[in-house]
Structure 1
């Protein structure tokens, strides 16, 4: 078979295939927003550009015959694009390599790109996800505990209204949790092919309605020095994204999860209490002595966007999930709509610029390959570029599982 010369078009196709194959967390998130970007595809997007993703409006049920018109409120979530990639340099002799011989170099280069895309996505999940299970951080190292971890995560997603469409839910675990789940599930009755696959590659296979993946980029979170019992809520009828409390006795770190006294989560459709205390993620680092805690989601006690049963009980303490000064891995279960990855086309060099470029797009992923010659040093430089951004479009459809 004749060698295939590594033109920018051929390299772009190969690079995109490698990218799609290597992604873990990012492969199971929403990429349907590509349709929002078609208006600009002809000229490409620029780094730093912000795209506002629209969330659907909500309304309330009307009982009886008399109409009660409701205004439409459509919230948006900003997604800011950033450029990155990896660059290869070839001597004149090396540039004559066929695609087969260049493949290893492309694999290594694209591994760096996919690693960074996944890392940023998992960091976003850490800081935006407020539902959190397993506050002790204990590993599910038995069959019962492993099954319990999977079913508890599914139950929390159910409570938050996550659709149960086959293949739409995923669990991304750190290496140690993956190992414990494989060990814990080993004795279950499964098809021979499923058991063989799990035994051969050491990876937990899809189970209990969850796609399963392992990623070394699962983020870690360390709670601050504030004791778990927190301080007292200072003021009645508080709502919104900041809660006033008595002065903190220690620090609270961004990403810490708390509960508020008397505040229960509600089902987003029925707005009935789930019977579980609502959880909130702290959105900024706080020093000892602080008297206001910024939280997400904002507390809404009524109306179409109601997410809690009531305001915090005045005079009672908030609670921190986990232990003070303890580090947890933030394994994440989520419905694909919880997070959005946009990877959009870029501007390409104009004709006559001395550079050749090709852009390849498939399934919401885009890679641009640009090649130009450095005559001073007699080398060819090949840029592999991506323009992407992350947004937590529906963080309520995700849940962290703490492990230590």
Structure 2
């Protein structure tokens, strides 16, 4: 689902790097016209990823139960332990979309309410990723709620698709590969509740960065809400030319009724008097008193499915220490994810206690390479 890093640097005695990885982000440059040399600095950017979350599942059985009553211990005990642990990690990872996805597409009805996505919605997500210069297919994915999957399978079943693909969708009831994406179902897709925001304006012209001064807003904005500023258009991240569509920004922190500043992503980085600049995100800064708008109705609840390039998100795990002098100890790495299991004897209760652990961290390192595909609830 994401870029996964199982970093063995964390486990090297005498050469530990602490609990934080530094991740280099892609460089960006402007293009010269003509023959005259116009050098520019390589302004490299970095982000960090901390491995600070440890989760585990623990069970205990008496020595008599372990010896006499538990058949197929791995299948009946260990497999459900791993499944529930993986589900908890997935829910944590998925929660990052709240404040970590700044693009949004939806299909709406005549009253402006979000409705079920169709092939058009998925293709709009594809176009959004292209405008943001996300790595091209193959490899792009859509993660969707089970109910969104049901809606899309039904919607796309009548399209002109290869008969084998249609047959597989019909046989399994799941989306496979279509419209430039691999589709995956996940029960932990976020159900987002939009704030009650109804009005707000920018306080001061020529603002840049990720904190924007505003006149006291009416209503609330939730972390993960997506907004636009009047007259501020997105640019293609390669050409720096306007896409003709308003730049969307995600709230990285909630804003209360009457708030006078908003925390947003991406940063407002306009052109310099019309000339392209490195890492440019918009054509111009919002004007003083420019209106702020939600991309959907206030108070609306929807499923926050998302399309993305895998390079947008990084999950890192580290090998936990295998202690000596215990009954059992094992560590396995699968697809870059490291899990450790330890069983030890508890003499006071005549039990064998088993613990399954993972230590990990994740980061939405390139949020512009994700696009929310909203679905009504």
Q: TM-score, normalised by structure 1?
A: 0.84
CA distance in 2, matches of 1:383, 1:74: 42
Number of aligned residue pairs: give it.
364
Unaligned runs of 5+ in 2: 272-276
1:172 aligns with 2:172: no
Which position in structure 2 is the counterpart of 1:231?
200
CA distance in 2, matches of 1:100, 1:295: 51
String of CA shifts for 1:355-378, please: whole Å, max 9, x gaps.
542221233111111121101111
The one of 33, 39, 42 aligned to 1:72: 42
1:245 aligns with 2:221: no
Which position in structure 2 is the counterpart of 1:13?
none
Which position in structure 2 is the counterpart of 1:272?
241
CA distance in 1, matches of 2:238, 2:163: 40
Unaligned runs of 5+ in 1: 1-27
Deviation at 1:66, TM superposition (A): 3.8
String of CA shifts for 1:221-259, please: whole Å, max 9, x gaps.
2122221xx222221111111112221121111111100
Structure 2 counterpart SS, 1:125:
coil
1:160 aligns with 2:129: no
CA distance in 2, matches of 1:356, 1:73: 50
Is the contact made by 1:139 and 1:177 (CA closer than 8 Å) also made in structure 2?
Answer: no
1:333 aligns with 2:307: yes
Deviation at 1:102, TM superposition (A): 2.5
Deviation at 1:45, TM superposition (A): 11
Is the contact made by 1:339 and 1:393 (CA closer than 8 Å) also made in structure 2?
Answer: yes
Is the contact made by 2:317 and 2:358 (CA closer than 8 Å) also made in structure 1?
Answer: yes
Is the contact made by 2:122 and 2:373 (CA closer than 8 Å) also made in structure 1?
Answer: no
Is the contact made by 2:226 and 2:251 (CA closer than 8 Å) also made in structure 1?
Answer: yes
Is the contact made by 2:8 and 2:319 (CA closer than 8 Å) also made in structure 1?
Answer: no
String of CA shifts for 1:102-122, please: whole Å, max 9, x gaps.
312222111211111111111
Which position in structure 2 is the counterpart of 1:29?
2
String of CA shifts for 1:84-134, please: whole Å, max 9, x gaps.
121222322443489844312222111211111111111102321010111
CA distance in 2, matches of 1:276, 1:358: 53
CA distance in 1, matches of 2:334, 2:48: 23
Structure 1 counterpart SS, 2:115:
coil
Which position in structure 2 is the counterpart of 1:283?
252
Which position in structure 2 is the counterpart of 1:40?
10
Which position in structure 1 is the counterpart of 2:346?
374
Deviation at 1:298, TM superposition (A): 1.0
CA distance in 2, matches of 1:316, 1:272: 22
CA distance in 2, matches of 1:385, 1:152: 40
The one of 177, 180, 183 aligned to 2:154: 183
Deviation at 1:146, TM superposition (A): 1.8
Structure 2 counterpart SS, 1:128:
coil
Which position in structure 2 is the counterpart of 1:360?
332
Is the contact made by 2:133 and 2:237 (CA closer than 8 Å) also made in structure 1?
Answer: yes
Structure 2 counterpart SS, 1:126:
coil
Which position in structure 2 is the counterpart of 1:206?
177
Which position in structure 2 is the counterpart of 1:139?
115
Which position in structure 1 is the counterpart of 2:120?
148
Task: Tell me which protein shows more helix as a share of its residues.
Answer: 1
1:396 aligns with 2:365: no
Deviation at 1:315, TM superposition (A): 2.1
Structure 1 counterpart SS, 2:230:
strand
- In terms of mean alpha carbon deviation, does 60-69 or 276-285 score higher? 60-69
Q: TM-score, normalised by structure 2?
A: 0.90
String of CA shifts for 1:248-296, please: whole Å, max 9, x gaps.
1211111111001111111111111111100001122212111111111
